[in-house]
Amino acid sequence: MRINWDYIKLTVLLVAVVALYGFADQRNERRMVENVTVKFVGENSLYLTEDAVNKLLIQNYGPLENRPKEQLVLNTIEEVILSNDMVKNAQVYLTVNGELVSKIVQRKPIGRVEGVSKFYLDDEGNRMPLSKHHSARVPIITGKITGKTLEDAYVILDYINKDDFLRKNIIGIHILEEEKYQLKFRMENFVVNLGGVDNLNKKFSNFMAFYAKAAKDNSLEDYATVSLEFNNQVVCTKI
C-alpha cells in the first residue's frame, strides 16, 4: 500500500495551524484590559467630558482596567454610554494591545429653549438637556412653547443653519402663537415677523433682497418691524 506523504503533511500542517490559532485565541481572551481611552469624534465635543464617561462606566461596571477581556460585553458598554443624554453615537472596541477604546459623537444643539423648562433643541429636533460644562451660543427660543411650535422652531433653525449669514446674525426666535414667529437679529433693532414656516425659501429670499438694499441706503436703523408674512412682499414699519 502506497502512503500519500503529501496528504499526511498537509493534514499535520492544518492541525498545527488550528492548534496554534486556538492557543493564540485562548491566550488573547485571558489578556487583561491595559487601559481605557475615551475619544470624542468631531468638532462638537463640548458638552460631555472624558471624566464623566469614565465615571458612568465605573458606576455600571466598576474599574475596567486590569479586567480580563473575556468578561467585557462591548455592546452592553456601548448601550451604557448611549444612555447619556449628551451622546449621539458610540462605538466601543478592544485593540490587540489590550486598550479599551470608546469613540463618542456628541449631540449638537441648534437652539436653546427659555421657558418653564430650559433645554436645547438638537440638530435632529429632539430635546437635549443643558450642559454644566459648556453653554452653546445658539438662538434663544422664547414665548408660547408647545410641541407644535417647537417642531416649527426646529424647521426654522434647520433652515437658518444652512445659510451662513442667517446663522451668524439670527440670535432669537420668539413664538407669539402657532404660525406667528418673530426673529431677532444680532446687530439690528428691528424684529422680523416671519409668520409660519411655509415658503421659507421665498420669505428669506425676499428678506435678503430688502436687507441688501437697506444696508446700501444706510436705512436699517429706521425700521422697527419687517414682515415677511405676506406673499411675495416685504412690509416694513418705521420707528
* 118 and 223 share one domain: yes
Q: Which three cell numbers mark 164?
A: 451662513
* 133 and 113 share one domain: yes
* 84 and 173 share one domain: no
How much is the pTM?
A: 0.80
* 153 and 171 share one domain: yes
User: Residue 224 belongs to what domain range?
Assistant: 109-238
Residue where one domain finishes, among candidates 106, 132, 150:
106
CATH number at residue 79: 3.10.20.310
* 48 and 95 share one domain: yes
- Per-residue confidence (pLDDT) for residue 6, from 0 to 100: 57
Q: Are 220 and 211 in contact (CB under 8 A)?
A: yes
- Per-residue confidence (pLDDT) for residue 64, from 0 to 100: 82
* 132 and 170 share one domain: yes
222 or 25, greater pLDDT = 222
Q: Are 193 and 179 in contact (CB under 8 A)?
A: no
Judged against a pLDDT cut of 60, whether residue 129 lies above it is answered with yes
* 171 and 91 share one domain: no
* HSE of 169, CA atoms in CB hemisphere, 13 A: 14
Mean pLDDT of the chain: 87
* 118 and 51 share one domain: no
* 78 and 113 share one domain: no
Neighbours of 153 (CB within 10 A): 23
Domain count, the chain: 3
Determine the residue type at 18. V
* 160 and 193 share one domain: yes
Residue-wise pLDDT tens digits, 33-54: 888 899 999 877 899 999 999 9
Lowest mean pLDDT among 24-28, 53-57, 124-128, 148-152: 24-28
Burial per residue of 54-65, b for 16 or more beta-carbon CB atoms within 10 angstroms, e otherwise? bebbeeeeeebe
